[in-house]
Structure 1
Amino acid sequence: MKTTGTRRSLAWLPVVWCLSRLVLLLFVLKVYVFPGPDVTSDVQVIYQGWYDVLSTGTFPLNDVTWQYPPAAALAILSPGLLPFLDYATAFYVLVCVTDLAVLALMTCAGRRPGRSLRGAWVWVIGVPLLGPTVYARYDVMVTAVAMAALLAGARHPRAMGALAAFGALLKVWPAMLLLAARRRSAWVSALVTGTVVTGVFALAMPGAFAFLTFQRDRGTEVESLGALVFHVARHFGWRGEVKLNYGSIEFLGPYVSEVSTGALFLTGAAFGWLVLWRLLARRFAEHTLADAAFVAVLMFTTTSRVISPQYMVWLVGLAAVCLYFPGSRMRLPVALVLVACFVTVLEFPFYFANVVASDGLGLTLLFLRNGLLVAAALIAARALWRATVPSVAPPASVPSQPTRAGETPVSP
């Protein structure tokens, strides 16, 4: 029965992938128009503008929307590999090819003894839940590198370290994959890879570290957890505005800096909890590496000043690797993240105008999506802690020695 079920799953995986990805391509190629703002403008305008600058051998030093580590230049320049297509079409094709490579990786890995195809299904289903936005950003490429790193973690720690470091130089967050790495070789490999790749970019292209200043100056984006404060406050007379700032729609006005600081405090608290967990964790199973990475990225995404829709694909990828291991404790959090993906496509781009207006529908969608992320983060963190940190048992009482009549009991 199990073999029959596996064969059916294998048969349906490519069918569902092909149908869902065809729909995504039809939307980004504008054969059909997806409701809401045009999600392809980032590729057609911003990415292509960066491509023109990067092609000259320098980073976009005067563009505050460039907020990415130096290796991100490789993703932006990659459409040049297909010179027979225009930039945007080439980008979508490469993202689709990367998506297919992830499917092949998860399917081959899931067929091994003691592994599961649930991870492949999470990827196949989760990506299209985010709508065409997922193909109009380079996050699928970053997530593919991170997933390959986690899958390599158990048997090839050096490869994991190298891939995690390279992923971090694409978009920072894959550095958190090393949280539960126990072998020194993984950290050494990551350090060497990071140093070499960073050094090459620093020597070859001016402005490799300009992104640090641009990222520091970001505010509170309208879809973030902290933004809910201002969405509600607008109904009680808060005098602020919603404006395009540093490449995203953000709140500007009174108390915004305080809320942004509060978000940074929550992120710091999450980091502190993760460090404490790492110091106290003693029970490490084969799935702990993936579970810990999922929890870490989930916590940092939820507390971030910015929760852009494409961030959700990070969680989908890590969730897929978690469920590749049958023993993972993350099934409920993964289910909550998948539901949050569906709500995300409703709040952006479908009803984004309602979100920006802070009306009833927009508030409902944001409270629901962010509430699901908070719930998933808390449940996942609790499950990780209970599975890996041994409980402190009360000291066992020593029974008193029996005494003869007339003798005084002696304390042990």
Structure 2
Amino acid sequence: MTPPPPVAAQTPVHHSRVVVWLGWLVAHLIPVIWIDRFGTATGDVHYYFVGVNNYVPGAMTEYPVFGTLPARLVNLLPGGEDAYIRWFVVLCVLTSAVFTAWLIHVDRAPGHRAAWFWSLFIALSGPIVLTRLDLFPALTVAAFAALLFARSRTGRRLATVALALATMMKLWPGVLGAALVGGWRRRSTWARVLWFFAALVVLCAAVLVVSGTDGLTSPLDYQSDRGLQIESVFATPVMAAAAFAAAGDDRWHIGYAASKSFEITGPGAGIMTTVATVATVAMVLIAVGWAVTRLVRDDWSPMQALAFSTALVALIIATNKVFSPQYITWLAPLVAVALLVSRRRIVVILALEVLVTAVLTAAVYPVYYDWLMSAPPSKEGVLFLALRNTGILVILCTTAWWALTAGRESRPR
């Protein structure tokens, strides 16, 4: 006779989910209370409100059309500017809840480490995740990564569509197209690539119909005109030079640029801007080199694609002449997916590194940001900036090693 299901064994699983959701609630209350009480990090949300209502000509033209959809959705809700900010935060919280629910549903283990990681990330990042549009393309990239592991052909094709949509929301995910490339003799390789580009064509056509050619070109023009932002990895030596310069040395200047970010000029800034540009080109060449290597070696696997995508995101951040605080959000959803599908210790180490870097990012912005913008910048602020940027370099090394060794975890597909 078949024994009845072990009810007692199911109870701890149910209780663990309740505990996870309680942790999620506390984690999200931290930034929500921070935002509500002090109005911290809401400047961009004010800007979204101005942009979607066309109060200032040219506002938000630096954002791809699909990337502005969450901001436009919030604008349909009742109330003025203050209500808009609250609705935007609510939308981000609800979106995070959906992602967390999916993590809990997929992860059958009682520990639910992926959901715990995501909740801790929200709590440690401060208000930045819930007050920026970057959450939405980052979670779309996570959907791409998760769908790579789908058992059905339809699911894997949807992965390429998700990546195309993320590209049309924020541009940078387009580089991750290199992770789709496998052996040149495999039909699956060309199916993934063709579905990705076909989805891009359809989405570009939709933008042309709605916004014309400016909707496609203005975000690209905006990126090319940016200078050396004070938070970027390559700005760190220049910021340190300005912070520890002799009293009265005013050769460095920090100001609000047309790029809507604070940039530094002065000795070394021009050189570092050039180095960052060269590093970005090198990043693209690395992506191309990876794709060509996969074509020849025919060793593509979903795990390898996920590992390389995570490493490439870290490389995009590290080589960029801009490192806005919300960029750390680009990494966290991918790491959450990695915690679901991989049991390697290096992924746990990577998750811990992301959490530490999130704390340091919150110290940089918003805690010390006013002091970083001062002339000269605060030594304490620059110290936290250097630690945070060291954190992203450590993450880059960890993800690179994972990408180079991920082929051991699964066979080519």
Specify the TM-score bucket, using the shorter chain as the normaliser: 0.7 to 0.9
User: Is 1:332 equivalent to 2:349 in the alignment?
Assistant: yes
Of 249, 273, 281, 1:268 maps to 281
1:233-263: CA deviation from partner (whole Å, max 9, x where unpaired): 2234461210111111111345433311211
* Residues 51-66 of structure 1: pairs in structure 2 closer than 5 A: 51-53=52-54, 62-63=58-59, 66=61
Of 208, 231, 235, 1:227 maps to 235
Of 98, 103, 111, 1:101 maps to 98
**Structure 1 residue 164: Cα displacement:** 0.7
Query: CA–CA distance in 2 between the matches of 1:116 and 1:171?
Result: 33
Residues 294 and 322, structure 1, Cα contact 8 Å, conserved in 2: no
The corresponding residue for 1:82 is 77
Query: CA–CA distance in 2 between the matches of 1:365 and 1:8?
Result: 39
The one-letter amino acid paired with 2:363 is L
1:194-221: CA deviation from partner (whole Å, max 9, x where unpaired): 1112112212224202121111100111
- The structure-2 alpha-carbon separation of the partners of 1:286 and 1:42, relative to structure 1 and needing over 3 Å to count, comes to closer
Deviates more, 1:315-324 or 1:357-366: 357-366
The one-letter amino acid paired with 2:137 is V
1:96-135: CA deviation from partner (whole Å, max 9, x where unpaired): 1111111111111222x8x983222221111221111211
Secondary structure at the aligned position of 1:123 is classed as helix
Give me the identity figure in percent: 23
Deviates more, 1:368-377 or 1:145-154: 145-154
The corresponding residue for 1:18 is 25
Residues 120 and 324, structure 1, Cα contact 8 Å, conserved in 2: no
The one-letter amino acid paired with 2:115 is A
Query: CA–CA distance in 2 between the matches of 1:346 and 1:66?
Result: 30
Residues 241 and 252, structure 1, Cα contact 8 Å, conserved in 2: yes
Residues 175 and 284, structure 2, Cα contact 8 Å, conserved in 1: no
Query: CA–CA distance in 1 between the matches of 2:73 and 2:204?
Result: 19
Asked which structure has the greater CA Rg, the reply is: 1
Query: How many residues are paired up?
Result: 376
User: Is 1:247 equivalent to 2:260 in the alignment?
Assistant: yes
- The structure-2 alpha-carbon separation of the partners of 1:276 and 1:217, relative to structure 1 and needing over 3 Å to count, comes to same
Query: CA–CA distance in 2 between the matches of 1:321 and 1:370?
Result: 24
Deviates more, 1:193-202 or 1:229-238: 229-238
Secondary structure at the aligned position of 1:338 is classed as helix
1:308-357: CA deviation from partner (whole Å, max 9, x where unpaired): 11111111111111111133543322221210000110111011123234
- The structure-2 alpha-carbon separation of the partners of 1:318 and 1:349, relative to structure 1 and needing over 3 Å to count, comes to same
The corresponding residue for 2:209 is 203
Query: CA–CA distance in 2 between the matches of 1:266 and 1:239?
Result: 26
Query: CA–CA distance in 2 between the matches of 1:367 and 1:132?
Result: 21
Secondary structure at the aligned position of 2:58 is classed as coil
**Structure 1 residue 154: Cα displacement:** 2.3
Deviates more, 1:75-84 or 1:276-285: 276-285
Calculate the TM-score normalised by the size of structure 1: 0.84
Residues 276 and 321, structure 2, Cα contact 8 Å, conserved in 1: yes
The one-letter amino acid paired with 1:307 is F
The corresponding residue for 1:33 is 38
Residues 159 and 186, structure 1, Cα contact 8 Å, conserved in 2: no
**Structure 1 residue 284: Cα displacement:** 4.3
* Residues 289-368 of structure 1: pairs in structure 2 closer than 5 A: 289-328=305-344, 329-357=346-374, 358-368=377-387
Residues 310 and 334, structure 2, Cα contact 8 Å, conserved in 1: yes
Residues 230 and 238, structure 1, Cα contact 8 Å, conserved in 2: no
Deviates more, 1:3-12 or 1:262-271: 3-12
| Structure 1 segments of 4+ aligned residues over 6 angstroms from their partners | 1-5
Residues 70 and 198, structure 1, Cα contact 8 Å, conserved in 2: no
Q: Which protein has the bigger helix share? A: 2
**Structure 1 residue 285: Cα displacement:** 4.5
Residues 150 and 177, structure 1, Cα contact 8 Å, conserved in 2: no
Query: CA–CA distance in 1 between the matches of 2:304 and 2:112?
Result: 18
Q: Which runs of 5+ in 2 are unaligned?
A: 1-7, 183-187, 409-413
The one-letter amino acid paired with 1:296 is L
The corresponding residue for 1:380 is 399
1:40-86: CA deviation from partner (whole Å, max 9, x where unpaired): 12112x101111129xxxxx8634x6422221231220103423673
1:334-385: CA deviation from partner (whole Å, max 9, x where unpaired): 2212100001101110111232343321121011111111111012212321
**Structure 1 residue 152: Cα displacement:** 1.1
Residues 318 and 393, structure 2, Cα contact 8 Å, conserved in 1: yes
User: Is 1:50 equivalent to 2:55 in the alignment?
Assistant: no
The one-letter amino acid paired with 2:356 is V
**Structure 1 residue 6: Cα displacement:** 4.8
Of 189, 195, 202, 1:189 maps to 195
Calculate the TM-score normalised by the size of structure 2: 0.83
